[in-house]
């Protein structure tokens, strides 16, 4: 079964919204702003944008090319393209690594996304109204310490993901992104307007995020910028390749990739412009990471005028971003199973979702029943899944994608997918895929392994 038989994107805009939804996730809304603020502010942002251009976008273009040329799941597409290019069929490992990485990420991503969904309802119920710091922390500790509640919200989130993916491209993925992505941007603008008008610390937040602080910029900042640029675009996990399989031949790949990268970066920057005024208005620590998301920010919302309403909107925003990422993460595995021919699209979605849900139980229990269990040395089950997927499989997948397209993909296939490109762009694209991107990703990969 050709994966494109599940449907095609009705327009280039829908593909852009879907791919941008894949890229936009929990990392954009929290990780990028505070990492930027701690590592040089505006200097880090510039380094990040440079890395997006020379590493992220070339690999994204390469993934879309592979997907649209192969017209199948990442595994089948790589098998077909390796054969058509007269090279070793072992290159299909790129598809396998993406499917396995996406499956692992989905399993623990669903657990954390369930937290955001639960906190949306806590905000609606007024749990944090006028709460103090001690009790805000206690609410969080009680929540993650209860395996039944974590499993419940993990199940709810996974059920939403399965429902959307089971309905195929036109009835599931496309309808979802048509609603979720405009809704996400609407909520972003609403929260930004509130942050500008109510906190009194908007300029301080802008300064933290954008003012150049060269004294805080270091070699490690460069590695962080490269890593953020690669991971934030959902590269190496097969999601963009799978979505590319549903893209019509008439849609321009380069323009689409530029727009996706721009939207992804815009969401990250807008999130920082929303979060940091709230942080500074309440005297919070801006580098508190997950603790700030689920302890400090609820505390701040609970003690601000209209904070209950806008706190609920914030966690709804986080949940929407998580859903758009989750459906893309699951797509490579679902498409691969569906094209085997033994199961239809709905059944394939249920099977992949069920197995990811079961694997996710280990991550959910890492915070309570299995808190003393280590899968990898000094790493809980949750941390091990995160490390193996994000620090091993995705970087290796990115390196192999850039090497395959740069050195092994038949030139006629690349020209067919990227017609009428200016010669200078061709030179820059091929040079980046052959030399810059693999080398830069390998450095990030080595640093993450050795640290």
Domain ranges of the chain: 3-450
- Supply the pTM of this predicted model: 0.92
Place of tokens 């490579």: 332
Q: Contact, 165 vs 327, CB < 8 A?
A: yes
In whole angstroms, what is the distance from residue 429 CA to residue 437 CA? 10
> What separation in angstroms does the CA of 364 have from each of 23, 55, 111?
24, 34, 6
- With 0-12 / 13-18 / 19 or more C-beta atoms within 10 angstroms meaning exposed / middle / buried, residue 64 is buried
- With 0-12 / 13-18 / 19 or more C-beta atoms within 10 angstroms meaning exposed / middle / buried, residue 220 is exposed
In whole angstroms, what is the distance from residue 170 CA to residue 82 CA? 29
Topology of domain 3-450, CATH: Amino acid/polyamine transporter I (1.20.1740)
Provide the H-helix boundaries in 11-170. Answer: 12-23, 26, 32-38, 42-51, 57-70, 74-84, 93-125, 133-144, 147-166, 168
In whole angstroms, what is the distance from residue 426 CA to residue 413 CA? 14
Q: Chain-centre distance of CA 89, in angstroms?
A: 29
* Residue 226: predicted pLDDT: 84
Question: Got the DSSP string for 402-424?
Answer: HHIIIIIS-HHHHHHHSTT--HH
In whole angstroms, what is the distance from residue 59 CA to residue 70 CA? 16
- With 0-12 / 13-18 / 19 or more C-beta atoms within 10 angstroms meaning exposed / middle / buried, residue 292 is buried
DSSP 8-state secondary structure symbol assigned to residue 214? G
- 338's CB contacts (< 8 A; 6+ apart) are 1, 3, 6, 73, 344, 345, 348
In whole angstroms, what is the distance from residue 252 CA to residue 30 CA? 31
> What separation in angstroms does the CA of 316 have from each of 44, 137, 311, 371, 404?
28, 21, 9, 28, 40
Which pair of tokens denotes residue 396? 């290796």
* Residue 304: predicted pLDDT: 84
pLDDT one digit per residue (tens) for the chain, 451 residues: 444 445 789 899 999 999 999 988 877 887 888 888 888 888 888 889 999 999 999 999 999 999 999 999 999 999 999 999 999 999 999 999 999 999 999 999 999 999 999 999 999 999 999 998 899 999 999 999 999 999 999 999 999 999 999 988 888 889 999 999 999 999 999 989 988 887 678 888 888 888 888 888 887 788 888 888 887 888 888 999 999 999 998 889 999 999 999 999 999 999 889 888 888 888 877 766 667 789 888 988 998 888 899 999 999 999 999 999 999 999 999 999 998 878 889 999 999 999 999 999 999 999 999 999 999 999 999 999 999 998 899 999 999 999 999 999 999 999 999 998 999 999 999 999 999 999 989 988 888 787 6
């Amino acid at each position: 079964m050709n994966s494109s038989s599940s449907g095609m994107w009705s327009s280039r805009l829908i593909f852009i919204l879907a791919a941008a939804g894949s890229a936009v996730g929990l990392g954009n809304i929290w990780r990028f702003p505070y990492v930027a603020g701690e590592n040089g502010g505006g200097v880090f942002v510039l380094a990040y944008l440079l890395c997006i251009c020379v590493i992220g976008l070339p690999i994204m273009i390469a993934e879309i090319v592979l997907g649209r040329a192969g017209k199948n799941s990442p595994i089948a597409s790589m098998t077909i393209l390796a054969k058509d290019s007269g090279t070793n069929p072992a290159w299909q490992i790129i598809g396998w690594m993406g499917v396995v990485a996406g499956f692992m990420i989905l399993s623990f991503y669903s657990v954390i996304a369930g937290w955001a969904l639960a906190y949306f309802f806590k905000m609606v119920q007024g749990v944090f109204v006028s709460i103090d710091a001690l009790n805000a922390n206690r609410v969080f500790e009680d929540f993650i310490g209860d395996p039944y509640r974590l499993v419940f919200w993990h199940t709810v989130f996974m059920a939403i993901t399965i429902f959307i993916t089971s309905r195929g491209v036109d009835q599931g993925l496309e309808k979802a992104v048509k609603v979720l992505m405009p809704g996400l941007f609407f909520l972003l603008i609403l929260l930004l307007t509130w942050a500008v008008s109510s906190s009194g610390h908007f300029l301080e937040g802008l300064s933290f995020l954008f003012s150049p602080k060269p004294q805080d910029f270091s070699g490690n900042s460069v590695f962080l910028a490269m890593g953020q640029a690669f991971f934030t675009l959902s590269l190496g996990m097969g999601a963009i390749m799978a979505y590319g399989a549903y893209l019509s031949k008439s849609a321009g790949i380069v323009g689409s990739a530029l727009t996706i990268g721009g939207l992804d970066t815009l969401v990250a920057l807008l999130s920082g412009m929303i979060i940091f005024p709230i942080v500074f208005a309440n005297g919070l620590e801006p580098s508190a990471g997950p603790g700030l998301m689920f302890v400090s920010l609820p505390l701040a919302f609970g003690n601000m005028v209209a904070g209950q309403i806008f706190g609920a909107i914030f966690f709804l925003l986080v949940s929407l971003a998580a859903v758009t990422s989750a459906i893309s993460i699951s797509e490579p595995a679902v498409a691969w199973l569906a094209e085997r021919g033994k199961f239809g699209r709905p059944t394939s979605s249920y099977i992949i979702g069920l197995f990811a849900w079961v694997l996710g139980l280990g991550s959910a229990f890492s915070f309570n029943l299995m808190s003393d269990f280590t899968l990898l040395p000094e790493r809980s089950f949750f941390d091990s899944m995160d490390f193996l997927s994000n620090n091993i499989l995705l970087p290796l997948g990115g390196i192999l994608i850039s090497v395959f397209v740069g050195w092994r993909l038949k030139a006629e296939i690349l020209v067919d997918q990227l017609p009428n490109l200016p010669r200078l762009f061709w030179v820059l694209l091929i040079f980046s895929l052959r030399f810059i991107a693999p080398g830069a990703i390998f450095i990030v990969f080595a640093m993450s392994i050795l640290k």
